[in-house]
Amino acid sequence: TPRSPLSDEQISSPLQVFGQAKKQINKIFVDVQDYVADASERMIDVNKLCPDVINENELKSMLDYRSKVKGICEVLTRDHMKVAFFGRTSNGKSTVVNAMLGEKVLPSGIGHTTNCFLQVEGSQTGEAYLVTEGSNEKQNVESVTHLAHALNYEKQLNEKELVHVYWPKDKCSLLRDDVALVDSPGVDVTPHLDDWIDAHCIDADVFVLVANAESTLMVTEKNFFHKVSTKLSKPNIFILNNRWDASANEPEFLDQFNSQEQVRKQHMERATDFLVKELKVCTPEEAVSRVFFISAKEVLQARVKERSGFPLNSGALADGFGARYLEFEDFERKFEECISKSAIKTKFLNHSQQGKHLVKEMLKIMETIHNRSQEQTHLKMCQKKEFQEKLNFIEQQLISITNQMKMKIHQMVDDVEDKVSKALND
């Protein structure tokens, strides 16, 4: 059946396109699920009545398709968009995640803070809680200090381990729109980068490299992304030159505007070369929308203030805050467009191809059964006709025999009557 186009509903963020596509593909799969359930039940019924119309393999395949479609439906309801943040220790990865969420959710601080993988996603129940790997136990989280405590002291966590942090959806539009944000320990603190990639990166739709604008891209950071791009074809990578507020306070910059521009140009060139020439993941034109100069700390502070009812730009802010804030928002917009497009393609394209294949296979089976049942009906009709013709012939024979008998009896009776009357006369 034709479905309403995506533009029918109000879309205020590119992320909602993913949500709508998810809703529609879910609806389609529910229809397919109903169809395959109905078809397999009918096949079971028909098989009981006429076992030679459907063979065992056809019935088995149909039941297989039924469980496959059920499996796809389950995966579909869980599908979300995933963004993973990487970079050296203390570059501000956790702060960037918090800034995007608009509040301090993850622990951040100087030194090595994040010691395992943390996936923040929307909580269905509206409560904040965390679940550690291999456990179903929900640990309530009241505050970021509580979360930090739970992560640092109550458990001896392995750096590769994944802790799910479920945060109320109504607090953040990203979570409402099905984005999961994965924070990681610094790429410089582990020798197990390959394990990290296999465990956490394969299904990521977007990667964000949080670099330090006060220094430059490091070999460990580059190395990590080289490994990622050997395992994933053309990963979507954004580079955030974080701590850009520091450039505003730099006493060495005499002619501040020019110096800041020069540093920016240098970072931009290096980041573009990295994405375009080294990793070959985008064109120079695309790279312009992949590299940003931001201050996650400022954005976080401003958003926290705004939530408490103060104006966004209140408090002591370094020069150029407004421009940096706008650049962060620009990053968020480009990020949303990219993740939504990529997730629809990677997650739903595969499902819809699988779905189409299953429906085609089911159709083939149903057509084979239909043709076979028609052939059998035709055969039975022919047999019936042949039988009827024989019956008619026998009936005709019987009629003619009966008629002949009748005539003979009449003749005999007449003959006897003649003979009797003749005898009586004599």
Region binding ligand GTP by CB under 6 A among candidate stretches 12-20, 226-234, 254-262, 294-302: 294-302
Region binding ligand GTP by CB under 6 A among candidate stretches 109-117, 160-168, 233-241, 378-386: 109-117
The Cα 93–Cα 86 span in angstroms is: 7
Half-sphere exposure of 415 (CA within 13 A, CB side): 6
Which two structure tokens, joined as six digits, stand for 167? 């945060």
The Cα 40–Cα 63 span in angstroms is: 6
Instruction: Kindly tell me which residue out of 16, 40, 91, 94 binds Mg ion, with binding defined by CB under 5 A.
Output: 94
Which two structure tokens, joined as six digits, stand for 286? 């695309």
- Site for ligand GTP contains 152 (CB under 6 A): no
- Site for ligand GTP contains 109 (CB under 6 A): yes
The interface partner of residue 204, options being ligand GTP, Mg ion, none and the CB cut-off 5 to 8 Å by kind, is none
Instruction: Kindly tell me which residue out of 113, 241, 247, 272 binds Mg ion, with binding defined by CB under 5 A.
Output: 113
- Write down how long the chain is: 426
Strands (E) in 146-270, as ranges, are 162-168, 179-183, 206-212, 237-242
Least distance in angstroms from the C-beta of 183 to Mg ion: 6
Between 29 and 117, name the residue whose CB sits nearer to ligand GTP: 117
- Site for ligand GTP contains 122 (CB under 6 A): no
- Give the DSSP per-residue string, 284-344: HHHHTTTEEE--HHHHHHHHHHHHTTS-TT-S---TTHHHHHHHHHHHHHHHHHHHHHHHI
The Cα 34–Cα 288 span in angstroms is: 47
Rounded to 5 degrees, φ, ψ at 41 are -65, -45
Instruction: Kindly tell me which residue out of 81, 84, 92, 217 binds ligand GTP, with binding defined by CB under 6 A.
Output: 92
- Site for ligand GTP contains 126 (CB under 6 A): no
- Binding to ligand GTP (CB under 6 A) within 269-288 occurs at none
Between 16 and 184, name the residue whose CB sits nearer to Mg ion: 184
- Binding to ligand GTP (CB under 6 A) within 181-210 occurs at 185-186
Whole-number Cα distances in Å, 416 to 72, 108, 421, 426: 93, 130, 8, 15
Which two structure tokens, joined as six digits, stand for 220? 């460990």
Least distance in angstroms from the C-beta of 245 to ligand GTP: 5
Instruction: Kindly tell me which residue out of 241, 242, 247, 301 binds ligand GTP, with binding defined by CB under 6 A.
Output: 242
Asked if 272 contacts 291 with a C-beta cutoff of 8 angstroms, the reply is yes
Region binding Mg ion by CB under 5 A among candidate stretches 73-81, 108-116, 250-258, 375-383: 108-116
Residues that bind ligand GTP (CB under 6 A): 87, 89-95, 108-110, 112-114, 185-186, 242-243, 245-246, 295-297
Residues that bind Mg ion (CB under 5 A): 93-94, 113-114
